[in-house]
Amino acid sequence: MAEAYPWQQALWQQLAGRTQHAHAYLLHGPQGIGKRAMAERLMARLLCQQPQGLDACGQCKSCLLLKAGSHPDNYVLEPEEADKPIKIDQVRDLVSFIVQTAQLGGRKVILIEPVEAMNINASNALLKSLEEPSGNTVLLLVSHQPSRLLPTIKSRCQQVTCPQPSLAQSQAWLASALPEADPAERDELLTLAAGSPLRALSLQAQGVRDQRALVSEGVKKLLKQQQSPTQLAESWNSVPLLLLFDWFFDWSQLILRYQLTQDEDGLGLTDMRKVVQYLAQKSRQGKVLEVQGWILEQRQKVLGKANLNRVLLLEALLAHWVQLPGSR
């Protein structure tokens, strides 16, 4: 059974306690707060033949089939490969499933995650089924970035904003998930994950602190002219592109904040505080805004799965960055 997170309790009581359900829910919120677990828990509850209170019983034929991954009335649609789009052929297969009769005589439940991985053609192929699914069918759509969805997709769903945990809840959960890590390390992971505890755990598993150290040291060498943009771009192959753009965007925000406030407590994590302060003091605000706009533009291309030359893109990013000091 999917994990039940304490910060979801109020929403869970509201959703699972309903006697009638919408034909489609759009569960949305930042990545790493447990939306997929919430959807899987609701999926199990909707398919269960003998629910126990607000949860699935875990013992009936339906629950056992779901646990084995062979439930005939359950369909999970997601990218065939990580960070790849959901293809239109995948959606057409889903539509064929939707029109079938439920084999166990109850509901059919479909989970799609992340919904924004569908391109326009794939999204349009789903619209009719999303508006009028045949039989007793419930679609659970999970989105980390609902702003990227077509309005026609959003308008056909009941939108559910998934709650974010408080800082205390995130710290407590991460402490139980990473008992071997010291509090300072867990706090750093939470900062890098924008406060999302599940994302913090995922980042820790991929070695984010080592990746961050590699990048921050590289930026320092770049500004000291000890390494070129080309050398750095090639040495950062192990670091996810989106993570790099997120960090550079965050640093640009911190630079602008310091230029406006001169608040040394707002310089971010210790690894880049001196660099942020130096760039804030040596850079023209208009130039920082220009570079920040460029970063956002390229980040959108990365999110849109554009076919980008990684090395050339990073070289351009670093060329912009190295031009910041002295731009006053």
- The dihedral of CA 238, 256, 31, 182: what is its sign? positive
Distance CA 304, CA 84 (A): 10
Mean pLDDT computed over 220-247: 93
Mean pLDDT computed over 109-135: 92
DSSP alpha helix (H) spans, the chain = 9-16, 35-47, 61-68, 88-98, 120-131, 151-154, 167-177, 183-192, 197-205, 208-223, 229-235, 241-261, 273-282, 285-303, 310-322
**One-letter identity of residue 133:** P
Q: Is the pLDDT at 139 greater than 80, yes or no? A: yes
Least confident of 166-180, 181-195, 303-317: 303-317
CB 120 within 8 A of CB 151: no
pLDDT confidence of residue 133: 87
pTM of the model as a whole? 0.85
Q: What is the pLDDT of residues 9-19, one digit of tens each?
A: 999 999 998 98
Q: Which residue is listed with tokens 């359900």?
A: 21
pLDDT confidence of residue 134: 83
With cut-offs at 50, 70 and 90, classify the pLDDT of residue 82. Answer: confident
CB 174 within 8 A of CB 200: yes
Q: Is the pLDDT at 1 greater than 80, yes or no? A: no
Q: Is the pLDDT at 140 greater than 90, yes or no? A: yes
Closest-CA residue to 221 (of 117, 92, 321): 321
The H or E element containing residue 137 is strand 137-143
Q: What is the pLDDT of residues 202-215, one digit of tens each?
A: 999 999 999 999 99
Q: What is the pLDDT of residues 16-44, one digit of tens each?
A: 989 899 999 999 999 999 999 999 999 99
Name the token pair of 243.
């993570």
CB 14 within 8 A of CB 71: no
Q: What is the pLDDT of residues 163-177, one digit of tens each?
A: 999 999 999 999 999
Name the token pair of 152.
């026609």
Share of residues in the chain with pLDDT > 70 (%): 99
DSSP state, residue 25:
E
Radius of gyration of the chain (CA): 23
Distance CA 220, CA 242 (A): 20
Q: Is the pLDDT at 135 greater than 90, yes or no? A: no
pLDDT confidence of residue 181: 93
pLDDT confidence of residue 177: 94
pLDDT confidence of residue 83: 76
CB 150 within 8 A of CB 121: no
pLDDT confidence of residue 84: 84
Q: Is the pLDDT at 286 greater than 80, yes or no? A: yes
Q: Examine residue 151 and say whether the peptide bond preceding it is cis (omega within 30 degrees of 0).
A: no
With cut-offs at 50, 70 and 90, classify the pLDDT of residue 328. Answer: low
Share of residues in the chain with pLDDT > 90 (%): 87
